[in-house]
Every structure is written in C-alpha cells, then in structure tokens.
Amino acid sequence: MTFWLSAGILFTFTAIIFALIRWGNVKLVGVTPVHTFTFIAILFTSGLDVGLIMFPLTEFAGYADLANSPEYGFTNPLAIEFGFWAFLIWGFYFLTCFYFCVIEPKVKFFEIGLVKLINNVVIIGTCAFTAYLLLSNLPWYLPQVGDGETIVGTFYLIVFAVIAAAVYSSTSLRYVRLLSLATTWLFIGLIALMWVGAFTGENGSVGDFVSTFSLLGSYFGNIHQFVLPLNDYHEFYLFWWFAWSIMIGQFTSRFVGGLRTYQVLAAMLIFPSIPIALWFTVLYYYSSQGLDTSGFYNLAMVVVGITFVINSLDSLIRLYTDNLGMTVARLGKMKYFILNLVALSLLTLLFKLDFLQIQWIGALVIGIFFCCLGYILVKRYREVASINASPEENLVDFRKIEMVN
C-alpha cells in the first residue's frame, strides 16, 4: 500500500506542475460561479470535516513521543499537525477542481458507467466515514455523557440527527451555500473564543501566542518531509485526503468564479491554511501548557465540529445524488430524505464495525487517477491538447452575471 500511495502522490504533484505550465493563465469558470469569498468558504467547509476540530488535542502528545515515533523528530508537534492538514496537501483538491472545471467537460471520463458507479461508491463511503469520525470522537469531548471511552446510545442519536440534518440541507443548494458561510464564521468565532481563553489573563499573553505560532515555520523549512508518508499514521491521513479529493474537486469546480489557474492554486494553498494555522496554534498551546478544555470549550468544539460534519455531508450528498439521478425533483423530498438517511446510517455502522477502511477508498481513488490518465492518452489526447479555456457555455453564463453585477 505504501508504494501505491507514493506513486499516487508523485503523480498528483507532477500533474499539478504540468497544469500550471500548460494552463496556468486560463480563467476558471464553473457552472455556478460565485464570488471569491463564497468560493473559499465553500471550499474550506466542504473540504474539511470534524477531524480538524476534534483530532489535534488527541494527537499532539503522540507526535511529541519520540521514543515510540522517532520519525517525528525533525520538527515539533504543531508543525506535524499542520503538515497533515494544511498547505501542500490542498494541492490534491486544486488538481481535481481544475480537472473538473476545464478537462472533464472535454474528456467525460466520469460519465463512463463503471467509472460513475465507482466514483459514487467512493463518495457515499467517505460520507459515512465522516459521520463515523464524529461518533468515535464524541466520548473524548463529552465525557460527562458517558465514561469518556465508550460510545453510548446518546452518541448514536447525535450522529443520526447530524446525518438527518445534512440530508435535509442537501435538498437545496441555497442551504449548502448558507451553511458554508455560517460554518466559516462559527469556526472563526471558536478560534477567537479559545484564543482569548489561552492568551489573556493568567493563562498566557499575546507574546506566548506569537512564540507558539512561530513553531509553524519549521513546517515550511521541512516541507519536503511531508510529501511521502512518514509512517502508517501519515499514510492514513494521505489516503484520507485522496478519498476526498475527487468529490471535493468535482463539487467545488462548480463554483469557481473567474480566477485564473495559478490563482486558484494559491487560493487553495493559502486561504484555508491561515485559519488552520491559527486554530492549531491555539490548540497546541492548550495542550503544551496543560490548560483545561473540559466543559464549555469541549462543548463549543463539539457544536462547531457538528456544523462541519453537516456542511461536509450535505455537499457530498448533493454531489452523489445528482450523479446518480437520485434528486429531490425525481424522488420527492420524503423518499429522498429516507433513502439517504438509512443508507448513510448503515454505512456509518459498517465503519464502526471495522468492516470498511478509509485507506481502501483512498487506494481506489488513486486507481481512478491512473485510469483517467490512461484514458486521456489513449482516447482523448487531441481534445485535451486543444484546450485553452473553460467550457464556452460556462464563460457565456459568467459574462451575463458580470454584466448584471
């Protein structure tokens, strides 16, 4: 699996470089273009899930334990966490966003029956994994509900309600957009709340924040270390990013509103990384200084984590139901709601039983990448070689919107 993963990573970054050289100045316009801030909000909240909120506090100690994990010794735990979640890794999403905006309309690889089926299996499986992550982390963050370790019935009800809310939200694109913006502001509010708690009063100072934040510089000084997997746990993260990459690219490509290719790459690498850097800095200070997060802070993180899950799931549900023709217009709202709710709830339980693994889904996505390249080289080379702009129909609609504005 390590070799397969490494091959997929090297292919991805090679393809990114090629896209920048060949189409770097092309203006990207999706089928539903939005303003840049809205696009970034949709990208950020759709491209991340509850793990961003709930994982770091449980992981910092492991990254600091060099006796058991000497491979982390080249940098500090904050830089490790950042490297697993931010900056370079968002290139995966850029590549697929670019592909679906510019290349796929000519190639139509994902309209092939078998490819469409596999792609939607990937999307549905990853949706269920996202819900499972929330379920598995609730005992740590809400120990007052149980014993702090066991998943109790209340946690199943919470996750069931979250899936239901996400399915309902997916019934209208208006809900998806509003929830993306609301989740972004909620996350910013959570960062501000916990920043005040850590760096004002007796707990610390602004200078402590600056010195902690500066630890992130080690990531950029060792960025090459994060390209290939450091160990099995890093492999888990990288497979997880691959599992998300096609569907997030397919979804976000709809909303690109006239940025050029190199600008989209810069936006994807930089803008999501800023709040992630601030958030991880705050959490690392809590962890390293032994500050208590139980009670109100943990509850606040759970609330924001739940909004992330709802926001991620509604985007992906919207995507796979559109792909499979299981739309509200076709099925009716009630049938649509029940079908998706039951399917995602059952799949979440399969992850809980270790019947499914996210690594398998990520490996399947890498296979799709290579098959797509082969299809282009054999069947669609001339069409791709002739591309010099986004699809004309998108550009026409975009010009109409610009004229109105």
CA distance 404 to 300: 41
For 243-272, the DSSP string reads HHHHHHHHHHGGG-EEEEHHHHHHHHHHTT
The predicted-structure confidence for 203-244, as pLDDT tens digits, reads as follows: 888 899 999 999 999 999 999 999 999 999 999 999 999 998
The predicted-structure confidence for 30-61, as pLDDT tens digits, reads as follows: 888 888 777 877 777 666 667 788 889 889 99
State the residue for tokens 């010195």: 211
Q: What is the pTM of this model?
A: 0.87
CA distance 162 to 140: 18
2-404 to CATH, choices 1.10.10, 1.25.40, 3.30.450, 1.10.4160: 1.10.4160
Q: Is the pLDDT higher at 324 or at 104?
A: 104
What's the whole-number mean pLDDT along residues 15-42?
A: 87
Residue 305: its pLDDT value, please? 85
CA distance 336 to 349: 20
Residue at 178: amino acid letter: L
What's the whole-number mean pLDDT along residues 342-366?
A: 87
Confidence tier at 14 by pLDDT (50, 70, 90): very high
| Strand partners for 260 | 27
Residue 41, Cα to own-chain centre: how many angstroms? 12
Q: Tokens for 192, please give them.
A: 């501000």
CA distance 228 to 90: 15
Residue 163: its pLDDT value, please? 92
- The structural domains of the chain, with segments of one domain joined by +, span 2-404
Residue 312: closest CA among 144, 176, 118, 116: 176
Confidence tier at 83 by pLDDT (50, 70, 90): very high
The predicted-structure confidence for 313-345, as pLDDT tens digits, reads as follows: 887 888 788 888 888 888 888 999 999 999 889
Q: Could you tell me the CA-to-CA distances from 295 to 1, 150, 196, 198, 302 in Å, in that order?
A: 41, 18, 16, 15, 11
What's the whole-number mean pLDDT along residues 156-169?
A: 90
CA distance 233 to 173: 35
